[in-house]
Amino acid sequence: MIELEQVLPEEIERRSLEIITKELGDRTFPAGQEQVVKRVIHTTADFDYADSLIFSDGAVEKALEALREGCTIVTDTNMGKAGVNKKSLHKMGGEVLCFMADEDVAGKAKSDGTTRAAASMEKAAGLGRDCIFAVGNAPTALVRLYELIQEGRLRPKLIIGVPVGFVNVVQSKELILSLKDTPYIVARGRKGGSNVAAAVCNALIYQINREQ
């Protein structure tokens, strides 16, 4: 006999977070990071993120400040864009953008012999806005972000580096981890995904919601 819990829809998230907290046991995280770690575990059911999520010093605090000031979030997939809570983001004056389907990005990628993800990061660099970059799919996006920072053309408020896969995924994340003056949240190793990128964004947004 399979026994199912009787849980109302609005209680599912609360119960899930209770289970996550219980299974983490005595694990503790610095202020602000706990909500990010738990939100990612909630999204993936993967407790490895408790160890693999790497935060630069003050990354959460700097990201929250940027979001309060209406920072733009740029994603490398429309799936990631779809997963971000836009209603809550808009209340802070922010928006989420993805350029992957733009014709000019496709043309730029073709002429430069690169990927749309890399070209979309270059387009974002030309916005002249404060941006948080949420990369959940394309390591080439992280590589181009690294290059743009080294060239002095971009100063991200935060890089969420969580692409998933096998080819250049680990290496691209290590490039971001080597940055000294750029805030980042990186899922070290092969794991990640657009859902993880959106989960990190939402964890940050929800922290501000609780303040209001």
- Determine how β-strand 158-161 pairs with β-strand 131-135: parallel
Q: Annotated catalytic residue: which of 29, 33, 34, 42?
A: 42
Q: Is 83 exposed, middle or buried (0-12, 13-18, 19+ CB in 10 A)?
A: buried
How many whole angstroms separate alpha carbon 94 and alpha carbon 197?
A: 17
Residue partners of 114: CB distance under 8 A and separation at least 6: 108, 140, 144
pLDDT band at 3 (very low <50, low <70, confident <90, very high): confident
Domains and CATH numbers, the chain: 29-209 (3.40.50.10230)
Residue partners of 196: CB distance under 8 A and separation at least 6: 40, 43, 44, 49, 136, 162, 164, 187
Q: Assign residue 2 a region: left if phi > 0, alpha if psi is -120 to 50, beta otherwise?
A: beta
CB 118 within 8 A of CB 148: no
pLDDT digit string, tens, across residues 114-131? 999 999 999 999 999 999
Q: Is 106 exposed, middle or buried (0-12, 13-18, 19+ CB in 10 A)?
A: middle
Q: Is 192 helix (H, G, I), strand (E, B) or coil?
A: coil
Nearest by Cα to 46 from 168, 204, 202, 199 = 199
How many whole angstroms separate alpha carbon 51 and alpha carbon 60?
A: 17
pLDDT digit string, tens, across residues 13-68? 999 999 999 999 999 999 899 999 999 999 999 999 999 999 999 999 999 999 99
CB 50 within 8 A of CB 72: no
Q: Where are the extended beta strands (E) located within 56-205? A: 72-75, 96-98, 131-135, 158-161, 184-187
Catalytic (active site) residue 42: yes
**Which residues, listed in sequence order, are joined to residue 98 by a DSSP beta bridge?**
75
* Residue 212 predicted with pLDDT over 70: no
Taking the CA atoms of 58, 81, 117 and 189 in sequence, report the sign of the dihedral they define: positive
Run of H or E residues at 53: strand 53-55
Q: Across residues 96-117, what is the average pLDDT?
A: 97
pLDDT band at 209 (very low <50, low <70, confident <90, very high): confident
- pLDDT score, position 31: 84
